[in-house]
Amino acid sequence: MRKYYIDNIRIFCILLLFPFHTCMIFNTFGEPFYVFSEPVNIFSQFVNIVYPWWMALLFAIAGISSAYALKKRSGKKYSKERVSKLLIPLMFGLVTIIPLQTYIADVFHNGYAGGYFEHYKVFFTKFTDLTGYDGGFTTAHTWFMLYLFVISMISLPIMLWYNKSDKKFNGSKITMPILLPMFIIILLMTPIVEVGGKSVGEFLACFLIGFFILSLDDVQDKLMKYRIPLSILWIVFMALRSYLYFNNGGHGLVWDIEQRMLTWIGILAIMGFGKRYLNFNNKFTQYFSPAAFPIYLFHQTVLVVIAFYVLKVTNIIPLQFGLIVVMTFVITLLCYEISRRFSVTCFMFGVKKKKDV
């Protein structure tokens, strides 16, 4: 039986993209982003408390999904799916979608006066901090697809070996006192290949814990049973993160440890609540489940373009925020709808063709 709540948690994470990246336009921590309005503390706090568990949860869910997929797929078929859903859309995204963000950023921050297609030369030859905020090369938000592809491929031999092994983790023996300290694994792996504040090691740990531990039925049942205390802990750690940010600016060993504790407790709490309340299937979830990765691919470029013009139209912060979120959501879905009607765009962007959905 399909566990719909796993799909629905992924949908929840994807829908968070729209307020999260809109909040980046108003951040108070000095990140210029591709366009920038003015600092708004409440929006920055949203980014501050959401990011640690949000992206890590996506990697954990990917690990869980891989555990289920490899029960009925060969390693070869799994690899082909990773290529078609992640690598090919990433490559085409770097050519057709991402450059528009850096063009807008160069115009907004640097007053770039050249044309869009002229800017391609800048994009593919200017390598600085890899954010793209200065108009240079970046993978932008598709770093997630790159990381997930790399992590999936390097984990595949381990996952295949484990599935063939006679020894498996016994979920009934994995108690909460064993589960809770697993944030230490994430913490210890974080320094491994960290680029621009995004650690391959950290997300690899989340992926593998998802595959080996969180995919077990007994563990999922425990998380549902303890969802209330886990959620209280989650809220406490989010509040603590805000406190630490105000008092030390988000630096130091305590900050790093607390962040990984928040990461792990957030994953556990959402898994518990998801199993209890999100295990359903309806027209909404049937639509958004196959749309998740294409929406991820399209959304930020759409957001940056819309924000560029909205900031010119109004100075009212709530109106800016609302217009950017709503218009980005609508136009991103429009891009998805258009792309899934043509075989070539389905191939380019990893979209299921409309008749197949």
Closest by CA position to 171, among listed 125, 222, 121, 126: 222
**What tens digit of pLDDT does each residue of 314-352 get?**
999 999 999 999 999 999 999 999 999 999 999 999 998
Share of residues in the chain with pLDDT > 90 (%): 87
Give backbone dihedrals phi and psi of 74, rounded to 5 degrees, phi first: -80, 165
Are the C-beta atoms of 317 and 323 separated by less than 8 Å? no
Are the C-beta atoms of 42 and 321 separated by less than 8 Å? no
Give backbone dihedrals phi and psi of 39, rounded to 5 degrees, phi first: -65, 135
**What tens digit of pLDDT does each residue of 96-147 get?**
999 999 999 999 999 999 999 999 999 999 999 889 999 999 999 999 999 9
DSSP 279-342: ----HHHHHHHHHHHHHHHHHHHHHHHHHHHHHHH---HHHHHHHHHHHHHHHHHHHHHHHTTS
Whole-number pLDDT of residue 116:
94
Angle between helices 217-225 and 227-248 (to 10 degrees): 70
pLDDT at 213 over 50: yes
Whole-number pLDDT of residue 283:
94
What is d(CA 199, CA 211) in angstroms, rounded to the nearest whole number?
19
The parent domain of residue 79 ranges over 4-356
**What tens digit of pLDDT does each residue of 178-202 get?**
999 999 999 999 999 888 778 999 9
Are the C-beta atoms of 160 and 78 separated by less than 8 Å? no
Angle, CA 4 vertex, CA 230 and CA 74 arms, to 5°: 110
Q: Which helix (H) or strand (E) holds 198?
A: strand 198-199
DSSP lists the bridge partners of residue 194 as 199
Share of residues in the chain with pLDDT > 70 (%): 98
Are the C-beta atoms of 271 and 220 separated by less than 8 Å? yes
Q: Which helix (H) or strand (E) holds 89?
A: helix 88-96
- Report, as an integer, the average pLDDT of 285-303: 95
Buried b vs exposed e over 159-170: b needs ≥16 C-beta within 10 Å? Answer: beebeeeeeeee
pLDDT at 208 over 80: yes
Cβ neighbour number for residue 334 with a 10 Å cutoff: 12
Residues 291, 294, 300, 302, Cα dihedral to 10°: -90
Compute the Cα dihedral for 55, 59, 64, 65 and give only its sign. positive
Whole-number pLDDT of residue 357:
44
pLDDT at 20 over 70: yes
What is d(CA 134, CA 109) in angstroms, rounded to the nearest whole number?
7
Whole-number pLDDT of residue 252:
80
What is d(CA 321, CA 285) in angstroms, rounded to the nearest whole number?
26
Cβ neighbour number for residue 28 with a 10 Å cutoff: 16
pLDDT at 354 over 80: no
Angle, CA 14 vertex, CA 292 and CA 310 arms, to 5°: 110
Whole-number pLDDT of residue 356:
47
**What tens digit of pLDDT does each residue of 217-228 get?**
999 999 999 999
Count of structural domains within the chain? 1
What is d(CA 307, CA 69) in angstroms, rounded to the nearest whole number?
38
Closest by CA position to 266, among listed 292, 240, 296, 294: 240
Quote the mean pLDDT of the chain.
93
The pLDDT-based confidence of 216 (bands split at 50, 70, 90) is very high
Instruction: Look up the pTM and report it.
Output: 0.94
Q: Coil, strand, or helix at residue 275?
A: helix
- For 179, 220, 293, 341, the CA distances from 267, given in Å and listed in that order, are 11, 11, 20, 35
What is d(CA 346, CA 293) in angstroms, rounded to the nearest whole number?
12
Residue type, 5: Y
Residue carrying structure tokens 């913490």:
187
Residue type, 340: R
- Report, as an integer, the average pLDDT of 290-312: 96
Q: Which helix (H) or strand (E) holds 157?
A: helix 143-164
**What tens digit of pLDDT does each residue of 222-273 get?**
999 999 999 999 999 999 999 888 887 667 888 889 999 999 999 999 999 9
Residue carrying structure tokens 């139209």:
313
Whole-number pLDDT of residue 139:
94
Buried b vs exposed e over 236-254: b needs ≥16 C-beta within 10 Å? Answer: ebbeebeebbeeeeeeeee
Between residues 13 and 250, the one the model is more confident about: 13
